[in-house]
Chain A
Amino acid sequence: MIGGLFIYNHKGEVLISRVYRDDIGRRQAADSAIFSSSGLPLEERLANRRNAVDAFRVNVIHARQQVRSPVTNIARTSFFHVKRSNIWLAAVTKQNVNAAMVFEFLYKMCDVMAAYFGKISEENIKNNFVLIYELLDEILDFGYPQNSETGALKTFITQQGIKSQHQTKEEQSQITSQVTGQIGWRREGIKYRRNELFLDVLESVNLLMSPQGQVLSAHVSGRVVMKSYLSGMPECKFGMNDKIVIEKQGKGTADETSKSGKQSIAIDDCTFHQCVRLSKFDSERSISFIPPDGEFELMRYRTTKDIILPFRVIPLVREVGRTKLEVKVVIKSNFKPSLLAQKIEVRIPTPLNTSGVQVICMKGKAKYKASENAIVWKIKRMAGMKESQISAEIELLPTNDKKKWARPPISMNFEVPFAPSGLKVRYLKVFEPKLNYSDHDVIKWVRYIGRSGIYETRC
């Protein structure tokens, strides 16, 4: 299991260091066997403990070349690291741990910290180091991850710290049963005057297209994010136009199957928040759960069939002699004319030896950014079924570099108010038998946002 956890700043200085296991930081196993509790001078033993901390700094943070792997083995000690802005989080172990779990834990750790004090920065970590130690003590025991749901943690790890004396016995046992219980993500006795929930269907559409307009790969990875402000322990059931469900229901009336079949979507795979009863989904494909309070990610899904590609990019690159390039890019929007796409940005890469660029565009603003080696063309809004064009002349410095320009793909960013996968929320039913509000009393909001993921066209 995880033997220790370190947080460094970009210079490699240690901000947080928590060692869970004795084997971490030992120079040699033999050393400690011989001098287990005494014998070795204190300074040296402390130096040994710091060994693992230093090894990571020297070999990874201060390494000369780019990091080639998120897992590093230095002297039989394995280091897992993730980076958040310029903060390094490293988990250390000497055993054959579950690597996927360690990374999941590190991400979770980031989430928890962010939920407590916002952005993960050196400043924030230094300001909250006592809190971080407290959290680390709670969510990792002997290197085994424990309950790390922020909702539950916030009930008893507070920044005030003094709360514990004033708790009643009932409160205490409620905390512990929540931390260890089946529904660790929600506490009892939540009350809202207005029962309300928000559903956001957030999709990112990914595309790789050949210069000839052939789709090399396309997929949508979507998330359903829910904000729930519901009283009590509400039982929720979520429904969408999942092809399997629709076909199952439509079996009786063949007519309806064909009609609804068009609107239903084939989901390649989906994963759920731990509140969803997976066995029920597996057997009946119904999504039922008791939601955490506040915001959480209900599900993630991926589709690859019948994706609506909101934009089509048509590139035309012509090399005129050795010192000039002519680029023409047309973008076409491919959705209902009544809808508006926003935050459109087309990024056209230019060679490293570009000396000057002239751009003409019909719509929006375009600029050559030398530091990014790209022409960036921005359009604020664009309606569906429209077309726009940019043309540029790129002057090149003559070079004797044998290597050809690699021609990175043209990438695009945008935001559209629909789900490119075609996903539709059919219902979200709420039952709370103990309290006197019904499904009809709950105010529900649904919103669809489609964003570009990696949306690239090769040129």
Chain B
Amino acid sequence: MTDSKYFTTTKKGEIFELKAELNSDKKEKKKEAVKKVIASMTVGKDVSALFPDVVNCMQTDNLELKKLVYLYLMNYAKSQPDMAIMAVNTFVKDCEDPNPLIRALAVRTMGCIRVDKITEYLCEPLRKCLKDEDPYVRKTAAVCVAKLHDINAQLVEDQGFLDTLKDLISDSNPMVVANAVAALSEIAESHPSSNLLDLNPQSINKLLTALNECTEWGQIFILDCLANYTPKDDREAQSICERVTPRLSHANSAVVLSAVKVLMKFMEMLSKDLDYYGTLLKKLAPPLVTLLSAEPELQYVALRNINLIVQKRPEILKHEMKVFFVKYNDPIYVKLEKLDIMIRLASQANIAQVLAELKEYATEVDVDFVRKAVRAIGRCAIKVEQSAERCVSTLLDLIQTKVNYVVQEAIVVIKDIFRKYPNKYESVIATLCENLDSLDEPEARAAMIWIVGEYAERIDNADELLESFLEGFHDESTQVQLQLLTAIVKLFLKKPTETQELVQQVLSLATQDSDNPDLRDRGYIYWRLLSTDPVAAKEVVLAEKPLISEETDLIEPTLLDELICYIGTLASVYHKPPSAFVEGGRGVVHKSLPPRTASSESTESPETAPAGAPSGEQPDVIPTQGDLLGDLLNLDLGPPVSGPPLATSSVQMGAVDLLGGGLDSLMGDEPEGIGGPNFVAPPATTVPANLGASMGSGLSDLFDLTSGVGTLSGSYVAPKAVWLPAMKAKGLEISGTFTRQVGSISMDLQLTNKALQVMTDFAIQFNRNSFGLAPAAPLQVHAPLSPNQTVEISLPLNTVGSVMKMEPLNNLQVAVKNNIDVFYFSTLYPLHILFVEDGKMDRQMFLATWKDIPNENEAQFQIRDCPLNAEAVSSRLQSSNIFTVAKRNVEGQDMLYQSLKLTNGIWVLAELRIQPGNPSFTDLELSLKCRAPEVSQHVYQAYETILKN
């Protein structure tokens, strides 16, 4: 008897015929008809019109027929809710059937019929089945609770099914336990806060016992559930691990991976000094390797997970490089994943083998694979310094093959090698230039252009090369255009005499003929830099670049920790948190690795805080920033402003030396205006539009000096304020503050990525400023900044940078670059960060200097509402390096004589008058004397900030 004939009936009037057959008296004919109906249903025909006739066949003692009718019901009941009720009676009756298989079948099917009226009738049979004497019925009923919960969660709670389900965890039958665990886990996922699973050492013990006895699938449910438990201390974690490790020898890869998940998670709690920790590490490697001999689809899942495991605990597989060597007939998805892991495991010890393999792969057929192999060679060079030379020569060999995509890929990675090892391999540039014409992919073209621009001084015909690209400027992709713009500006700064025309050309192409705002903005910035201050331009454009980091594609640590909790699941295959691909609220609870807690320690010390948990101690960013900014832009200067108003500032910025002969210094001693380059400023109308925005954000900081609230310890630190709002910087939000601690100044930055793409390659630069503040080290952002991630960086500063007097004096203009763009903002730094530690003048000196400074340099200020006595004032100021030289009491008033010195050697002397006895008069009077009276205003601000916070 074959069933395939049912698929072939396509004639008209079929439904009608089927109807007749369904109502036939003959059992066999009936069954045949139902089979035909199911076959039609499968291939997508609508057979819902037969609903009443099929349901009529339900009352039968033929189990096979019954199952077919149930299958039909599950498909169509929802479209015919009223008729589906007809089936209820049979269901209820079947739930009482003496045959456990039929009882289970009825309760299983009833749960799949998503019709409200039927679910009402389901409750009673379900309650009975949950307590059925037969385990087969109980295990089916357990899953049915999850089904019912999916249809009507409230009903399940009201009917008390959850408690019954919890009781089933202690059932004598392991399969009932497993299904109950699965159902509870699913229900718990939609109620993240409820303590539904209520895992405690006792219930964990029950689960571990059931683990040894149930089916492979049940073991997976239990292990996945165990992974959500957080043991109370390391001892408990270890004992669970001990009982889970035997699962690593299971033939089912999913059992193995789920066991690995539990172990990886609980290992987090074990001390590394423990012997057991080492044992466990050793036990993990062989099963992971064994997974690679499974079927290719499972290998793929395993490899994606191993990729995570290798990033989290590289020590596990560090000796297993060979098993990841690609086999000739591996499916392409396995090949690509193996390659990824090979690079991660590459080290000095095995690099020779790895390189030999990669070279083999670079001659394979699959284009994607070959590209990745070439790229991998470059990554090896960057990762293992000792191998760099060999890698470069391998890449050169590959370039000689002239296979187009190999050449392009090689050039892209060589660019990175140059960045990592400057001044080492530039001799290969000539070879690269030979292949210029064959490059047709944007990334390769951009890389090559970057190389030409960066090393323009070593390439004789750099101008010709770049010019050749310029011809088709508008046909290039944005990536290439941006790179070309920068490269030509670099070239110009290096060889100004011959390339003027070229740079003019590219600037006008970028600014006037392009619709791309990024390109236009960058063009304007270069243009302005070049016309305003070529020296600064040189500093900005030709600045020394920070070295690129070793591993460029590591998964960001908090995401990695989360993914470790999802080993074996889709999230670990996609390398994305479930929220990225699961709809609605289900399963999007963020998981994190457990913190390490030793049983011997009673209190948690701060060092053992969760590795992946975000640090919570950030000072709050002042929330009203946006409003203040709004006020500013409306020129509604309600609050007291201590700096110059917006108008002057923006004019000043826009008008600085726009047309001046700033290029002279670059061009040597040529007379101004004659032979010098003839830069025309960009059309004036566009200037305010472009610069106004960034000015506004810079100005908002004016308020921060007075509105911040902080604790006093050491030099006063203002809370972080937003310097660059995300909307102005393509999603990068920068807030920060300045600190001074034992002689070193630093800028504490907080970078937040509010964009959707990952940000990398951060760099920072300051414009020249009044006190020569400059970064003492490059901006170190170690990992790429993923969306919604925040990173805190302390950037050390020194005061040996070039000096230019700014207005206001403490204005600092900053440029921050990342892979997306360059952003500019300005901020005001509090002057007290410049007060040096040896600012205490001796008494005699103080007197002499005070007299020596002319009286017109004296400035008077009032510090209002400061109810402190002389001691408090003195000590508070001293912590910010304002030193009290002498103290006098004149007519009930305390007079403090104080001195301070700025980083550039300027002394400031102060006389502070305090009236301690008079509570109603709490103002302090401050007289400042200084040879450079411009600073007085800012010193006063510093006083006020320090004393009032």
Mask of A186-230 contacts with B, CB within 8 angstroms, 1/0: 000000000000000000000010000000110101000000000
Residues of A within 8 A of B194 (CB): none
> Residue B674 at the A interface, CB < 8 A?
no
Contacting pair B300 A100 (CB below 8 A): no
CB contact under 8 A between A29 and B583, given known A144-B182, A282-B246: yes
CB distance from A4 to the nearest CB of B (A): 12
CB contact under 8 A between A271 and B43, given known A95-B582, A142-B146, A454-B328: no
Contacting pair B173 A282 (CB below 8 A): no
Residues of A within 8 A of B30 (CB): none
> Residue B179 at the A interface, CB < 8 A?
yes
CB distance from B668 to the nearest CB of A (A): 49
Mask of A159-189 contacts with B, CB within 8 angstroms, 1/0: 0011011010100110111011110100000
Number of interface residues of A (CB under 8 A): 112
CA of A404 to CA of B179 in the docked complex: distance in angstroms? 58
Contacting pair A164 B569 (CB below 8 A): no
> Residue A456 at the B interface, CB < 8 A?
yes
Contacting pair B136 A180 (CB below 8 A): yes
CA of A100 to CA of B220 in the docked complex: distance in angstroms? 10
Contacting pair A103 B295 (CB below 8 A): yes
Interface segment, one of B110-118, B162-170, B597-605: B110-118
Contact partner of A101 (CB less than 8 A), chosen from B48, B70, B116, B220, is B220
> Residue B158 at the A interface, CB < 8 A?
no
> Residue B360 at the A interface, CB < 8 A?
yes
> Residue A302 at the B interface, CB < 8 A?
yes
Closest residue of A by beta carbon distance from B34: A130
> Which residues from 462 to 492 on chain B have a C-beta closer than 8 Å to any C-beta of chain A?
none
Contacting pair B3 A145 (CB below 8 A): no
Residues of B within 8 A of A300 (CB): 251, 290, 293
Contacting pair A144 B286 (CB below 8 A): no
Contacting pair A278 B569 (CB below 8 A): no
> Residue B135 at the A interface, CB < 8 A?
yes
> Residue A59 at the B interface, CB < 8 A?
no
> Residue A362 at the B interface, CB < 8 A?
no
CB distance from B352 to the nearest CB of A (A): 12
Contact partner of A144 (CB less than 8 A), chosen from B102, B143, B570, is B143
Residues of A within 8 A of B99 (CB): 164, 167, 172
> Residue A56 at the B interface, CB < 8 A?
no
Mask of A417-459 contacts with B, CB within 8 angstroms, 1/0: 0000000000000000000000000000000000000101010
Closest residue of A by beta carbon distance from B321: A217
> Which residues from 56 to 73 on chain A have a C-beta closer than 8 Å to any C-beta of chain B?
66-71, 73
Interface of A is mostly: mixed
Contacting pair A126 B7 (CB below 8 A): yes
Contact partner of B252 (CB less than 8 A), chosen from A1, A43, A274, is A274
Contacting pair B176 A180 (CB below 8 A): yes
> Residue B496 at the A interface, CB < 8 A?
no
CB contact under 8 A between A274 and B301, given known A42-B48, A76-B581, A76-B583: no
Interface segment, one of B57-65, B799-807, B867-875: B57-65
Contacting pair B251 A180 (CB below 8 A): no
> Residue B584 at the A interface, CB < 8 A?
yes
> Residue B922 at the A interface, CB < 8 A?
no
> Residue B555 at the A interface, CB < 8 A?
no
A-B contact number at CB 8 A: 305
Closest residue of A by beta carbon distance from B116: A37
> Residue A78 at the B interface, CB < 8 A?
yes
CB contact under 8 A between A96 and B566, given known A13-B43, A23-B583: yes
Contacting pair A97 B290 (CB below 8 A): no
Residues of A within 8 A of B243 (CB): 279
CA of A335 to CA of B153 in the docked complex: distance in angstroms? 68
Contact partner of A129 (CB less than 8 A), chosen from B42, B48, B246, is B42
> Residue B609 at the A interface, CB < 8 A?
no
Closest residue of A by beta carbon distance from B258: A98
Contacting pair B4 A165 (CB below 8 A): no
> Residue A245 at the B interface, CB < 8 A?
no
Contact surface of B with A, Cβ cutoff 8 Å: 2-4, 6-7, 35, 38-39, 42-44, 46, 48, 61-65, 67-68, 70-71, 75, 78-79, 81, 98-102, 104, 108, 111-112, 114-116, 134-137, 139-140, 143-144, 146-147, 150, 173-176, 179, 182, 186, 212-217, 220-221, 224, 243, 245-247, 249-254, 256-258, 286-287, 289-290, 293, 295-298, 300-302, 322-323, 325, 327-329, 332-333, 353, 360, 363-365, 401-403, 566, 568-574, 578, 581-584, 586-587
- Listed A/B pairs (19) with beta-carbon separation below 8 Å: A45-B79, A46-B46, A78-B581, A95-B586, A98-B257, A100-B301, A104-B254, A129-B6, A130-B3, A130-B38, A141-B143, A142-B146, A148-B217, A149-B215, A165-B63, A167-B99, A177-B136, A268-B290, A271-B251
Q: Which 10 A-B pairs have the closest CB atoms?
A: A161-B64, A269-B286, A176-B136, A126-B4, A100-B254, A282-B246, A101-B254, A278-B246, A96-B578, A70-B297
